[in-house]
Structure 1
Amino acid sequence: MAGLFDKQAEIYADARPTYPKEWYSMLAGLTSSHTLAWDVATGNGQAAIGVAEYYEHVVATEVSKEQLNHVKPHPRIRYEHTPLSLNDDDLVKLVGGEGTVDLITVATAIHWFDLSRFYSVVNRLLRTPGGVLAVWTYSGFEVFPLFDVVFKRFSDTTLPYFDPKVKYVLEEYRTLPFPFERLDLGFEGNPKPMDMKREVSFAGFLRFLRSYSGVTTAKERGVDLLSKEVVGELESAWGGPSLIRKVVYKGWMLIGRVKK
């Protein structure tokens, strides 16, 4: 994943939907203490800031220096650059030491990870009992039927340019390896549906599309998936550039504890 979002880091920070405050409140209610949280692949720090409302200290780590250039400072957040060359022992020490972390969050990123390595670190860091790992993503969205049909045609053109690991997102994290004691919260072990609603202009929505890794990869290969013609078709279906629409991003969350 390192470097994948560097080129669109500024767009990414501006365009991606904000995670609801209720998510963090729910997660805080699942941990036995609220001393230390670790937000992994923090990007612009969006999730870390939400977590910081409920935890005394938050360590927010990111492999991309460019992403960290766009974070929002917060008195309870310590941002750290963690290059892939950093070994696991040093990472554990950097975050806080073994068995010290109450909550670990990964927002829309775990599908890029070396999962076996990451999960090994999670098992070392999470407080037992009482610590929680929460990972989430969003896959697709709904605006209104006419636009959704037009968007589907565009979305299909991006699929050949996505990394194979994106399949976990397209499958709503249902197939993501997750070797923890799941807290299904009534969903029989399946990812918990976590929709996000946001009112956006067409210009804002277009910035969101430009932050797609598939769109960036295609452009690097000489293919403009958001050509003038495609943008025009999407804008027409939207109803015009000045119209504000309610977009429902379809989210999914997995929550677990270290197995006993």
Structure 2
Amino acid sequence: MARLFNKQAKLYLDARPTYPREWYSMLASLTTHHLLAWDVGTGNGQAALGVVEHYEQVIATDVSEEQLKHAMPHPRIRYHHTPLSISEEELVTLIGGENSVDLVTVAQAVHWYDLPKFYSIVTRILRKPGGIIAVWCYKSFAVSPEFDPDRDTSSVNATSSVNAMSSSVYVKCRFEGQPLELDMPKQVSFEGFLRMLRSFSAVNTAVKQGVDLLSEKVVKELETAWGGCELVRTIIYKTFMLAGKVKAYY
């Protein structure tokens, strides 16, 4: 997994949308204290930078050293490489110990985790009472009524692979309550749109298996449907967020 993200770290930094600041304000309002947060799978640190506006310190971790090389520094964010070999006890100690974390955030990453193990760690480190975990992920994305139908026919493999992976998180997360559905807009050129597609792990995994989901033919069809390479469009990322306590929290 880490090797997969090492290869696409620069693309990921450039192509992915910025999470709205109001999301972090909303999450901060749910926690009793604002001393320590843990951003899991932080990547380049964009979620950690939003969280740190509301918490005294953020521990930001990732299995990919290459991703962390592109992380944006902040005096109250501590970035740590956490290889898959790290033990649960080592990770709990690294984060701050049991009953120490006010907010855990996982932005577009939870589908990679051993969820029973992850929830066990979250249950141990969250402050009781008052600790909250929040997970969010893209379900799909939309561009325009003109572009989306063509995308669904000419490049269905490239985009449906991404959307299926993201949607699977909905059934894997063991939270009480219903997910909050959110729209996340980002203005991009056609080249920016391609960088976004190429940053997805589903596309990179397919390439490793000898399948080019973004072949020259598909890219040309996408460009035509987009309206030309110079046109800037707004992509709407259809996102859901689950926030609260893990079911077996207490």
* TM-score calculated relative to the size of structure 2: 0.94
Structure 2 counterpart of 1:169: 166
Structure 1 counterpart of 2:191: 203
**Greater share of residues in helix:** 2
1:128-178 Cα distance to aligned partner (Å, 9 max, x none) = 10000000100211111121012223553137977xxx856224x431231
CA distance in structure 2 between the aligned counterparts of 1:252 and 1:198, rounded to whole angstroms: 16
Structure 2 counterpart of 1:127: 127
The equivalent position to 2:211 in structure 1, one of 220, 223, 227, is 223
Q: How many residues align?
A: 248
CA distance in structure 1 between the aligned counterparts of 2:3 and 2:32, rounded to whole angstroms: 36
Structure 1 counterpart of 2:76: 76
Structure 1 counterpart of 2:47: 47
Superposition RMSD on alpha carbons, in Å? Answer: 1.7
Superposed displacement of residue 80, structure 1: 0.2
Structure 1 counterpart of 2:232: 244
Letter in 2 for 1:44: N
Identical-pair percentage: 57
Tell me if the contact between 1:201 and 1:244 (Cα under 8 Å) persists in the aligned partners: yes
Tell me if the contact between 2:61 and 2:80 (Cα under 8 Å) persists in the aligned partners: yes
1:56-78 Cα distance to aligned partner (Å, 9 max, x none) = 10000000111111111011100
1:100-142 Cα distance to aligned partner (Å, 9 max, x none) = 1000000011111000000000010000100000001002111
Structure 2 counterpart of 1:143: 143
Tell me if the contact between 1:161 and 1:218 (Cα under 8 Å) persists in the aligned partners: no
Instruction: Summarize the Cα distance change of 1:253–1:155 in structure 2 as closer, same or farther, 3 Å threshold.
Output: farther
CA distance in structure 2 between the aligned counterparts of 1:199 and 1:63, rounded to whole angstroms: 30
1:186-216 Cα distance to aligned partner (Å, 9 max, x none) = xxx2211021011111111110011121211
Instruction: Summarize the Cα distance change of 1:153–1:5 in structure 2 as closer, same or farther, 3 Å threshold.
Output: farther
Tell me if the contact between 2:155 and 2:222 (Cα under 8 Å) persists in the aligned partners: no
CA distance in structure 2 between the aligned counterparts of 1:238 and 1:156, rounded to whole angstroms: 15
CA distance in structure 1 between the aligned counterparts of 2:57 and 2:160, rounded to whole angstroms: 41
Which segment is superposed worse, 211-220 or 80-89?
211-220
Secondary structure at the counterpart of residue 118 of structure 1: helix
Structure 1 stretches lacking a partner, 5+ long: 183-188
CA distance in structure 2 between the aligned counterparts of 1:161 and 1:16, rounded to whole angstroms: 17
Structure 2 counterpart of 1:88: 88
Instruction: Summarize the Cα distance change of 1:238–1:18 in structure 2 as closer, same or farther, 3 Å threshold.
Output: same
Structure 2 counterpart of 1:186: none
Structure 2 stretches lacking a partner, 5+ long: none
Instruction: Summarize the Cα distance change of 1:154–1:67 in structure 2 as closer, same or farther, 3 Å threshold.
Output: farther
CA distance in structure 2 between the aligned counterparts of 1:160 and 1:21, rounded to whole angstroms: 29
Structure 1 counterpart of 2:178: 190
The within-5 A match list for 1:106-117 is 106-117=106-117
Tell me if the contact between 2:155 and 2:218 (Cα under 8 Å) persists in the aligned partners: no
Superposed displacement of residue 221, structure 1: 2.3
Letter in 2 for 1:205: F
* TM-score calculated relative to the size of structure 1: 0.90
Secondary structure at the counterpart of residue 104 of structure 1: strand
Structure 1 counterpart of 2:19: 19
Superposed displacement of residue 3, structure 1: 2.3
CA distance in structure 1 between the aligned counterparts of 2:154 and 2:40, rounded to whole angstroms: 31
